[in-house]
Amino acid sequence: MARILVMIPSGEVYDHDCVRWYRYKDVQAHINHYHNIGDAFVFDSSLKLLNYEKLDVLQIANPNLDDIDRINREYDYVFLRGSNYVHKDMKWSRTLEVLQRLKIPVIAFGIGAQAPVKGKIELSDETKTVLRMMADSTTSIGVRGAYSAQVLWDIGIRNVRIVGCPTAFRRNDPNLAITLPPLEKVKYAGITMRREVSPAYAQDIKRYLTFHRDLVKSLAQRFDVVLMAQGEVEEKKIVFGTPEQKEEAFEALRANKWVSEWYLDEVMEKLHRERLFYSDVVADYEALVQQKDIVLGYRLHGNLMALSNGTPSIYFTYDSRTVEFAETYQIPSFDVFSGKDFVLEEYWDQSLFDKFNRAYHHTYREMRQFLVENGADTKMVDVMQKTPEPARKVA
DSSP per position, 317-374? E-SHHHHHHHHHHT--EEETTS-PPP-HHHH--HHHHHHHHHHHHHHHHHHHHHHHHT
- What's the CA gap between 29 and 25, in Å, rounded? 9
Residue 386: the pLDDT is 54
- What's the CA gap between 251 and 35, in Å, rounded? 21
Taking alpha carbons only, the member of 267, 196, 201, 280 closest to residue 234 is: 196
- What's the CA gap between 313 and 118, in Å, rounded? 29
Residue 391: the pLDDT is 36
Contact present, 297 and 194 (Cβ < 8 Å): yes
Residue 390: the pLDDT is 39
Burial of 244 (0-12, 13-18, 19+ CB in 10 A): exposed
Residue 198: the pLDDT is 83
What amino acid is encoded at 210 in this protein? T
Per DSSP, the chain holds a count of helices (H) and strands (E) of 16, 14
Contact present, 380 and 363 (Cβ < 8 Å): no
Give start-end residues of each CATH 3.40.50 domain in the chain. 3-173+360-385, 183-349
Residue 209: the pLDDT is 97
Residue 189 phi, psi dihedral angles, 5° rounding: -125, 140
What amino acid is encoded at 344 in this protein? L
pTM beyond cutoff 0.85: yes
DSSP β-bridge partners for residue 107: 79
CATH of 3-173+360-385, one of 3.90.1570, 1.25.40, 3.30.70, 3.40.50: 3.40.50
Residue 219 neighbours by CB distance under 10 Å:
21
Residue 118: the pLDDT is 82
Contact present, 163 and 182 (Cβ < 8 Å): no
Residue 331: the pLDDT is 98
What does the pLDDT profile of the chain (395 residues) look like in tens digits? 899 999 999 999 999 999 999 999 999 999 999 999 999 999 999 999 999 999 999 999 999 999 999 999 999 999 999 999 999 999 999 999 999 999 999 999 999 999 988 889 999 999 999 999 999 999 999 999 999 999 999 999 999 999 999 999 999 999 999 999 999 999 999 999 999 988 877 899 999 999 999 999 999 999 999 999 999 999 999 999 999 999 999 999 999 999 999 999 999 999 999 999 999 999 999 999 999 999 999 999 999 999 999 999 999 999 999 999 999 999 999 999 999 999 999 999 999 999 999 999 999 999 999 999 999 999 999 987 654 343 334 33
Alpha-carbon distances, residue 169 vs 16, 58, 257, 277 (angstroms): 18, 24, 40, 24
> Residues 170, 171, 173, 174: what is their CA dihedral angle, to the nearest 10 degrees?
-10
The fold for domain 183-349 equals: Rossmann fold (3.40.50)
Give the list of residues 6+ apart from residue 64 with CB closer than 8 angstroms, or none: none
Contact present, 155 and 127 (Cβ < 8 Å): no
Burial of 361 (0-12, 13-18, 19+ CB in 10 A): middle
